[in-house]
C-alpha cells in the first residue's frame, strides 16, 4: 500500500488555502491549509511533508522565506510558490 503524499498549503487568504486544500484532498492527497506561514512551518518541522504550496505575498513571513526555510531543512521537498498579485495590466 502506498502512502498518501502530504501537502501543506499556505495562504494568508484562509478561504483560498481551504479551497486548494479541498481540491488536493479530493484528488487523494493528505493536505492541510494554513493562513499563517509560521503555523505551516511548525507543521513542516513536526511531520514529513512532500510538497509545500505557498502564497508569495503574506504578512510577517513571505513565501520566499517559506521556500528558504523548507529547502534549508529538506532539499527534497517540493515547494510551489503562487501569487495573485498583479503589478499592472498589459
Strand stretches in 1-90, DSSP E: 6-10, 30-34, 51-55, 78-82
What would the pLDDT profile of 33-77 be if each residue is shown by its tens digit?
A: 999 999 999 998 999 999 999 999 999 999 999 999 999 999 999
- 0.85 exceeded by pTM: yes
Of 2, 4, 6, 26, the closest CA to residue 78 belongs to: 6
Q: For the chain, how many residues are written?
A: 90
Neighbouring C-beta atoms of residue 42, cutoff 10 Å: 12
Amino acid at each position: 500500500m502506498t502512502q498518501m503524499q502530504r501537502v501543506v498549503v499556505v495562504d494568508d487568504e484562509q478561504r483560498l488555502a481551504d479551497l486548494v486544500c479541498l481540491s488536493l484532498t479530493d484528488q487523494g492527497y493528505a493536505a492541510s491549509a494554513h493562513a499563517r506561514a509560521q503555523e505551516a512551518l511548525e507543521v513542516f518541522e513536526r511531520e514529513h511533508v512532500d510538497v509545500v504550496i505557498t502564497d508569495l505575498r503574506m504578512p510577517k513571513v513571505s513565501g520566499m522565506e517559506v521556500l528558504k526555510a523548507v529547502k534549508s531543512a529538506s532539499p527534497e521537498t517540493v515547494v510551489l510558490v503562487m501569487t495573485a498579485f498583479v503589478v499592472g495590466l498589459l
